[in-house]
Amino acid sequence: MQPFRVIATIAIISNLPVASAVLTPDQAVKTRNIVELTFSPDGAHLACVVTGPPKGAEPQSHIWMLDVAGGSLHQFTSSSKTENFPRWSPDGRMLAFLSDRDERRQVFTISLDGGEASELTSGKNAVSEFRWSPDGRRIAFLAPEPKSEADEKKEKDKDDAKVADLEQELGRLWVVDLASKKPRQVTRGAWHIQQFEWLSEDRVIAVASNQPKSETWNDAIFTVSISDGKFTPFAQPSQPFGGLTVSPDRKYVTFFAPHNAGPTPHDVYLQPVSGGAARDVTASVDREASGLKWQNASTAFVSVQDGFHTRLYRIPTNGDLQRVEVPQSFGDFAVARDGSVAFVRHGFDRLPELFLQKGNGEPRQVSHVQEGWDNITLANAELFRFKSFDGREVEGALMQPLPSSTKAGKPPLILYVHGGPAGSFSDAYSSWGQVLANHGYQVLMINPRGSTGYGEDFLKANREDWGGGDFKDLMAGLDAVLARGQTDPDRLGIGGWSYGGYMAEWAITQTNRFKVAVSGAGMFDLAAEFGTEIGPAGDEWYFGTPWEHPEKFAHSSPYMYIRNAKTPTLILQGENDPIDPIGQSTALYRALKRYNVETELVTYPREPHGPREEKHQIDVITRMLDWFNHYLQPPQTVARSAQ
């Protein structure tokens, strides 16, 4: 067994007062997040989107506005529907945004001085994104073609038969004049545009494909003429790629892409619009980059995931990457022309809040959007590294149960597995983790091989090997924690959602060390999932196709080994999940019943890959906690989730 080596302890002083109230599932979902930060052109204001908490149905989002000089943050839009995607006009006098106020998402504009928002588009199909033209007189947006009169009549007559891969349902580029509000369709045919940016008054640059039916990674970068919709090839990055941006002077294009194929975009590439090869500008740090923002025509900023932390870097267009000192735990960010940085700070024991940092000054908190948390203590986490079975170093985080929840003897432990597989845990609030720590559990979170944040080789290390080296990493981390002698080895559980749910299913077929498991939206038969999921290109990168490599899919599918399972397993699933369809969970449930394993299947109507409705979010956490309590906590020590 490898030695347990602590490398860091996150020492963040929470802004939440210490108190003794137990975190319940009802309170655990009442969090707000702050995203889509964007400074006005003059840097005097910052628009952002505050989401949640859920109230009844799906959580709503609204646009908030920060007066940078005064430091006051207030809600800027306040309809009964959702608003997001704020974008400043070039002169900074107006803000455009998307809202579903009229059922389908449309573009609205509002003056910086406030007042009523004006609807700019009013089509019968939802707008997915938009961009201001350089002169501010037009807005280009993406939306499908409107339905024909015949289709409208069928819909009215309740003839809701759907034909797959219709061209008119592809994202089209449109341009609307702000003065007349008359939209004009720019693109047609078998072209699907993922995203775009203006290059000039008569051209945009776009990530697009002319083979959308193939369901493979086949996008490229094109320029598109606004006058006639003609596509001209510009670049073909390694797949998959995305995150297209254009510098303010429109001389450079950036995008995120891997060195070579998949599984996710990893590095930032900078390419001159005038021609020439793209340059990998984050290769020197070999960590996953995201969220690039331009400060001015010669400088961009980018966040880089480094294990459980996030780093901020400056990218000069004519120089090397430069580290920017900000707190290690942040989400979205924005940069003003004067170099001021706004960012959303968070941590294991810190809920998201907005901070502003000017120059080399200290960050200053400018928001207090969380409500009802004054009596709640959140658990911190200890970061550590350990050697896995093959000597590879892997990182994990361990939460201890809160002192108010501890009982006599060593505590039980839950191995909580992240989704992905190309995902990771970060030092951020986790509703599952915090509820478990509040109810007497150690919570172990590991970033095994295949996780983001540890370099491209580490990210690709589980190709054709789901349930192999990654599962061994998880078990090696568990053994490293048990070697400390502070955990009850006879009271271990495992759980997670998506790939975490898959790993819980895999674990119960490989070992009996876990006394209980919870699988949320997992994967039981990888070949069947490939044939029914939306966007199978990611799985194809890992395994190929099941028609050509059935043995690879079978080898990593829990159904092949389900006769070994004896662990009581709770299965949770949204009925409208397009990513890991519900058949995966019903098949697992049927198999466990066949082999007399105690199990329960709970499905949630209307829900996609993750629960969105408030009652469903609460129910998921309540059932998860009660299931673990039933098998791991002696009856006299169980703190009921409803208290």
pLDDT > 90 in the chain, percent: 81
Query: For the stretch 269-294, what's the b/e string if a residue is b when 16 or more beta carbons lie within 10 angstroms of its beta carbon?
Result: bbbebeeeebeebbeebbbbbbbbbb
* Nearest-angstrom CA–CA distance, 557 and 466: 9
Q: What are phi and psi of 529, to 5 degrees?
A: -65, -40
- pLDDT, position 151: 66
pLDDT at 2 > cutoff 50: no
pTM above 0.85, yes or no: yes
Reported as a pLDDT band with limits 50, 70 and 90, residue 638 is very low
Distance of CA 224 to the CA centre of its chain: 30
What token pair was written down for 36? 């889509």
Query: Quick one: DSSP state of residue 237?
Result: P
pLDDT at 643 > cutoff 70: no
* Nearest-angstrom CA–CA distance, 493 and 440: 13
Q: Taking each helix axis from N to C terminus, what angle separates 614-632 and 431-438, rounded to the nearest 10 degrees? A: 40
Stretch 430-434: mean pLDDT: 97
Q: What is the mean pLDDT of the chain?
A: 92
Torsion of CA 285, 288, 292, 298, to 10 degrees: 20
Torsion of CA 323, 325, 329, 333, to 10 degrees: -80
Domains of the chain by start residue, with CATH: 5-9+373-637 (3.40.50.1820), 32-146+168-239+274-365 (2.120.10.30)
**Nearest partner of 394 among 351, 356, 433, 425, judged by Cα:** 425
Reported as a pLDDT band with limits 50, 70 and 90, residue 19 is very low
Is residue 10 within 8 A of residue 427, CB to CB? The reply is yes
Give the position of tokens 């889509």: 36
352-410 pLDDT tens trace: 999 999 987 899 999 999 999 999 999 999 999 999 999 999 999 999 999 877 777 89
pLDDT at 275 > cutoff 80: yes
Q: Which amino acid is at 516?
A: V
What token pair was written down for 389? 């079975």
* Nearest-angstrom CA–CA distance, 444 and 413: 7
127-171 pLDDT tens trace: 999 999 999 999 999 999 987 666 666 666 666 788 888 888 899
- pLDDT, position 642: 41
